[in-house]
A and B are shown apart, each in its own frame.
Chain A
């Protein structure tokens, strides 16, 4: 039973990493920029929800706070692209990377000012409850995290493959010039991609905050998600999710079977091995067609 519980909790963590990784890949595929603040977007989404719903702050109902926080992060992503990133057009990749890293610092600092730097728990209805399947005891939070990730993935799949805007986003990331020729408003599409990445980050943040206390530094989780994205090939959405799940699963199993000091580095060791031996990621050959 131990193994199954480890598996479920690893899978749940992996889903959060996967969702953050999704944001990395979405933005990278569409705009060729890497948003190193993606983890901090996740953190901000979590804190906005917390600020809306926790009793010491606004005390709104949880189910109202969630959509507001997701929408707010969508708007935030949209505006960041429109106001900040668009000005960087034509700048080098390095400049954009540094910009997004700096943005992460600013967000962490701002969150600390608004919500404090002490760990706080999100008053989430799914936190700290157990579900029993026969003799098996699983956290409700973990089950919900996995379920919500599955649902989000399905929604994103339908959005990108079946809606005109979603297909246009794919088109603009495959051939930007041709997208211009077809009258696709490429700049607006880029803003919208950032909006989607912001919303996905908010979902990841809410899920993460349902699993334990948060403080503004949880955005650094973005580094693990970045590793997940690279493991998945940094170019495919399913790859990002899979990479996240792999990283999520490695952690608990490594700490279970290997001495604690070594288990910490396992995700990065895997990242290193993947970069050396399969630089295009594990899904590179199987999945050519994906956003």
Chain B
């Protein structure tokens, strides 16, 4: 056990940047997050896997403050940010790159990036980050005067990530960056996500349905089902786990697929 932990340098020593405790979120009467607890450590990529409707997006929305939780705590750099307004959360260093890109379609690429840095006032830093971002996504520099709505899906995804980076986040919440992209593009984008994590030191919380690519870049993973965390482990062990293979990687197991559900049987901790 100790050896296996040591293989992953980040998780061995790094401090916790985000710690969620017993979080509950509702859409009206519908309880979408049912008591989630999880931790994200400095410098890691932590993935949250789960099928459609598991509550992954809701979890991210609750962290970034566009939704208010009913119960629970979200600890980040020494304070409980649960229920804070989104602009305060962004200022504190958490940026949400939403599902489905959500670029500003009529603004140019450049203007979209400028909106990413809306909460910042350090002109020189913003300029430097723009160069940094164009370094990772050269295509955006080529298209910088083009309306974002006219970009391809892959380019829009790159823009959404780039725009998020312009906030200079300590923690980036990425919601299904692989959605609707070709395998080749998914690979390209995940390579960049990993590089951003390593080179820029951005801690990532990566929500995915594509468990395979997510677990390949992530250090640690959680599996969500019906608003709850049902599994939590290092990526290597999740990849090797029979259940994950069976339910999320499409490998045929001994039991019939889709018959079994991971309720509270294996709640984390």
CB distance from B76 to the nearest CB of A (A): 15
Residues on B with beta carbons closer than 8 Å to the beta carbon of A185:
85, 87
CB distance from B173 to the nearest CB of A (A): 9
Quick check: is A182 within 8 A (CB to CB) of the other chain? Answer: yes
Quick check: is B91 within 8 A (CB to CB) of the other chain? Answer: yes
Quick check: is A91 within 8 A (CB to CB) of the other chain? Answer: no
CB distance from A167 to the nearest CB of B (A): 5
Residues on B with beta carbons closer than 8 Å to the beta carbon of A290:
106
The A contact surface, by secondary structure, is helix
Q: Which of A164, A174, A180, A288 contacts B104 (CB 8 A)?
A: A174
Q: Which of A164, A174, A177, A183 contacts B107 (CB 8 A)?
A: A174
Q: Is the CB of B105 within 8 A of A184?
A: no
Q: Is the CB of B118 within 8 A of A184?
A: yes
Within residues 158 to 216 of chain B, which ones have a CB less than 8 A from any CB in chain A?
163, 167
Q: Is the CB of B104 within 8 A of A183?
A: no
CB distance from B64 to the nearest CB of A (A): 6
Residues on A with beta carbons closer than 8 Å to the beta carbon of B114:
164, 167
Q: Is the CB of A177 within 8 A of B66?
A: yes
How many A residues touch the partner, as a band?
10 to 19
Interchain CA distance A160-B251 in the complex, whole Å: 53
Q: Which of B85, B105, B147, B167 contacts A182 (CB 8 A)?
A: B167
Q: Is the CB of A183 within 8 A of B90?
A: yes
Residues on B with beta carbons closer than 8 Å to the beta carbon of A184:
87, 115, 118
Within residues 24 to 54 of chain B, which ones have a CB less than 8 A from any CB in chain A?
none
Quick check: is A144 within 8 A (CB to CB) of the other chain? Answer: no
Within residues 97 to 111 of chain B, which ones have a CB less than 8 A from any CB in chain A?
97-98, 102-107, 111
Residues on B with beta carbons closer than 8 Å to the beta carbon of A167:
107, 111, 114-115
Within residues 61 to 111 of chain B, which ones have a CB less than 8 A from any CB in chain A?
64, 66, 85-87, 89-91, 95-98, 102-107, 111
Interchain CA distance A174-B114 in the complex, whole Å: 15
Quick check: is B17 within 8 A (CB to CB) of the other chain? Answer: no
Q: Which of A179, A182, A289 contacts B106 (CB 8 A)?
A: A289
> Most chain-A Cβ atoms within 10 A of its Cβ — which of B95, B104, B112, B116?
B104
Q: Which of B64, B104, B116, B118 contacts A170 (CB 8 A)?
A: B104
Interchain CA distance A289-B146 in the complex, whole Å: 11
- Knowing A164-B118, A177-B102 touch, does A170 contact B163 (C-beta < 8 A)? no
CB distance from A173 to the nearest CB of B (A): 9
Interchain CA distance A182-B89 in the complex, whole Å: 10
CB distance from B58 to the nearest CB of A (A): 14
Q: Is the CB of B104 within 8 A of A171?
A: yes
Quick check: is A57 within 8 A (CB to CB) of the other chain? Answer: no
Within residues 36 to 75 of chain A, which ones have a CB less than 8 A from any CB in chain B?
none
Q: Is the CB of A168 within 8 A of B118?
A: yes
Q: Is the CB of B87 within 8 A of A178?
A: no
Interchain CA distance A170-B64 in the complex, whole Å: 22
Interchain CA distance A170-B112 in the complex, whole Å: 11
Q: Which residue of B lies closest to A187 (CB)?
A: B85
Quick check: is B119 within 8 A (CB to CB) of the other chain? Answer: yes
Quick check: is A285 within 8 A (CB to CB) of the other chain? Answer: no
Quick check: is A277 within 8 A (CB to CB) of the other chain? Answer: no
Q: Is the CB of A182 within 8 A of B103?
A: no
Q: Is the CB of A182 within 8 A of B115?
A: yes
Q: Which of A170, A183, A288 contacts B86 (CB 8 A)?
A: A183
Q: Which of B104, B116, B119, B167 contacts A175 (CB 8 A)?
A: B104
Residues on B with beta carbons closer than 8 Å to the beta carbon of A289:
106, 147
Within residues 206 to 247 of chain B, which ones have a CB less than 8 A from any CB in chain A?
none
Interchain CA distance A271-B117 in the complex, whole Å: 42
Q: Is the CB of A175 within 8 A of B102?
A: yes
Q: Which of B98, B106, B119 contacts A183 (CB 8 A)?
A: B119
Q: Which of B66, B105, B167 contacts A174 (CB 8 A)?
A: B105
Interchain CA distance A112-B102 in the complex, whole Å: 48
Interchain CA distance A182-B147 in the complex, whole Å: 18
Interchain CA distance A179-B119 in the complex, whole Å: 11
Q: Is the CB of A178 within 8 A of B102?
A: yes
CB distance from B60 to the nearest CB of A (A): 10
Residues on A with beta carbons closer than 8 Å to the beta carbon of B86:
180-181, 183
Interchain CA distance A179-B97 in the complex, whole Å: 11
Ordered nearest first, which 4 A-B pairs have the shortest CB separation? A183-B90, A178-B102, A183-B87, A183-B119
A sample of 18 inter-chain contacts (CB < 8 A) reads A168-B115, A170-B111, A171-B111, A171-B112, A178-B98, A178-B104, A181-B66, A181-B95, A181-B97, A181-B102, A182-B119, A183-B86, A183-B89, A183-B91, A183-B118, A184-B115, A288-B147, A289-B106
* B positions within 8 Å CB-CB of A: 64, 66, 85-87, 89-91, 95-98, 102-107, 111-112, 114-116, 118-119, 147, 163, 167
